Structure formats: C-alpha cells, structure tokens
Amino acid sequence: MRAIVFDRFGGPEVLTVASDAPEPEPTPEEVLVQVTHVGLNPLDHKIRDGSSRLASQLELPAGTGREMAGTVISGGADLDDSELGSRGLAPGTRVFGMRPPGDLRGTAAEVIAIAADALSPVPTEVMHEELPRWAGLALVGLTAISAVDDAARVCAGDTVLIHGGTGGVGQLLIPMALQAGASQVWATGRAANAQRIRELGATPIAYDEEDWEKVIEEATEGRGVDVVLDTHYHSTFLPSLDHIAPGGRVVPLPTLADLTPATERGITAVIPEITVTRERLDRLVIGLREGHYPLEVSHVLPLEQISRAHELLEGGHTRGKIVLDLDA
C-alpha cells in the first residue's frame, strides 16, 4: 500500500511516498480502515522537523498525520462484525477520527489500524465531495472542546478574545465559545478574513491593519477580557496578559507554551489536553450536521503533494484546513 514516511527529521523534503508499505495488523480492540482523506495540522510539521516534544518519542522511520476519514474494513480479534455493528462501525461504514495521544502512528496511508473508540460514523447523507471536511474535523474539534470546556471553562457572560480566528482550530473556537454562553467574542485575523470571522459570530480584529491591543483596551474600557484562547502564542501570549480581566484565564494551544509569565502574575493559564472519546466525536458530528461548526477546508491535495502541504502548514497563514485526498 501507499503511505507517507520519513526516516529523519527535517524539512518537507524528508517526506516520501512509499508504494510498498506493509498493511498493518490491528490489535484486538482496533479497526482496519481504508483511508480516503487525511487532515493535516501544524502539529504534523512540528513532529516532522523534530521541534515537538512528541518527536523524542518517535521511532524512525515513521508516518505522518493524526486524523482521517475513510471506510471500515474489519475489526481486530475482539471486534467481529456483530460487535462492530453494535458500535455503528460495521464493515463498509464511513468513519472519521484521530489517533489518541500516545499513538504516534501516522494516518497518511491507504490502510490504517486505529482504536475503535477513536472513530465515529460519518452521516450517511454526506456526499463524497464533503469528506475532506470530516477528515479535518477530529483534531481541531477535540482541541477546541478541550480548550473551551476543560481549560478555559467558558461560561455564560464571559468575554473572549481568540487569536487566530480563521485557522482550523479558530473556526471552531468561535462557535464553541458562543455555545458555552460567551457574551462577546473578538477574534484576530487578517483583514482579508474579517468577513469569515463575522460569519462565525465573532467581532473581527484585523491585526494587519490595526493594533489588537488598542482595540481590546477601548472595547473593554480597560477591564480586559475574561478568556484569551491563543492559537498563535509566540507573538501574542505575553501582550495578552496585559488584557485579561481579574479572575480571567489564558489558554495557549501550543503544548510547549511556557506558562510561567502568567502564573507569576497570578493569572490562571492552562494548556488544553486532547481527550479522544466516542462521545466527543459524536458531539462534533451533531455540530457539523446542524451547521454549528462550519469548518472550512482551504486546500485538498493529492497524496503525492505531501511536501507542498507541509510547506503550506509551515507558512502559518492558511485559512481553514489542509487535507490530502488519497483517491486523487
């Protein structure tokens, strides 16, 4: 089968398409899935170049990708067709999901073995051309749930500032914060993406045309916001600390974020930890079906353009998700 592999850390050029990769053997509680689409995320290039803490746990050669959409082939020894059917994962069912933390095997392969609880059925009415959105849903969706519900604990009446409102995660942070009861959400982004931020329900702050700090200072009359959800971190974390209201919380999404500057000032700072459960995946299904989570896919590329896909990831200005199409 075809699979993306790399045998050393480095730039996008280390990624190659192996045409003779062995098909995986599922463990008793895993499911074999024929992958059609793979969602890509900034974490992928950070693992590939060795900068992520997960890189030290990786055994090379390794695969890439954390999430996917595809079709169930079969189950492991503990998952016969009857058991799969009871879970809604009967052979032939289209599914989406992501690898749980600790499972560093890639998803960019024609067939993968993955934990049954890390999958959820794609609604039967979804057309094939819509599958890229489902392939890119799990990681950003579960990250957003962890950030809004677990880390920030956004509640009724909170004011929220989101750095990066049109990235993959940002496009779900906005509606989830509003669902949690936020009374006002501001989101930074380029001026070209301001309308998209409005469509998602937030007030845009065009960081390439105006000073976001001044905007927040004036809009909150110096009080600051109750919650900062920071997908950027490097250029935004420290200045954000000056605009957090008493008792407020800051949630940087990079797992290697240094929380010390916040904690030294008595500001609650939490890095979200993704929890992969069927319950949370099913919540994403409902949200996407009902139009609450209008996730956008900006690029759909064939498997052979994996290097180009990682170049776009590293650029950091992609709107929405980048997805690989294994059938292209």
Task: Give the integer Cα–Cα distance in Å for 288 and 266.
Answer: 37
Task: Give the integer Cα–Cα distance in Å for 134 and 126.
Answer: 9
Beta strand pairing call for 119-121 and 94-98? antiparallel
Q: What is the pLDDT of residue 319?
A: 78
Q: What is the pLDDT of residue 294?
A: 87
Q: What is the pLDDT of residue 87?
A: 95
* Rounded mean pLDDT for each run of 10 residues along the chain, 328 residues in total: 97 96 95 98 92 89 96 95 95 97 95 97 95 96 97 97 93 96 97 95 96 97 97 94 97 92 97 95 95 91 96 82 93
Q: What is the pLDDT of residue 120?
A: 98
Q: What is the pLDDT of residue 251?
A: 98
Q: What is the pLDDT of residues 141-157, one digit of tens each?
A: 999 999 999 999 999 99
Kindly list the domain boundaries of the chain, sorted by start residue: 3-137+295-325, 143-269
Q: According to the CATH classification, is domain 143-269 in 3.90.180.10?
A: yes
Q: Cα 51 to the chain's mean position, in Å? A: 18
Which structure tokens are listed for 175? 């509606």
Task: Give the integer Cα–Cα distance in Å for 71 and 141.
Answer: 20
Q: What is the pLDDT of residue 54?
A: 86
Q: What is the pLDDT of residue 7?
A: 96
Q: What is the pLDDT of residues 208-229, one digit of tens each?
A: 999 999 999 999 999 999 999 9
Q: What is the pLDDT of residues 237-293, one digit of tens each?
A: 999 999 999 999 999 998 889 999 999 999 999 999 999 999 999 999 999 999 999
Residue 321 corresponds to which amino acid? K
Longest dimension (CA), the chain: 62
For the CA atoms of 134, 139, 144, 147, the dihedral, rounded to the nearest 10 degrees, stands at 170
Mean of per-residue pLDDT scores for the chain: 95
Task: Give the integer Cα–Cα distance in Å for 123 and 287.
Answer: 12
Instruction: Identify which of 99, 98, 257 has the alpha carbon closest to the alpha carbon of residue 163.
Output: 257
Cα end-to-end span (Å), the chain: 15
Q: According to the CATH classification, is domain 3-137+295-325 in 3.40.50.970?
A: no
Q: What is the pLDDT of residue 219?
A: 97
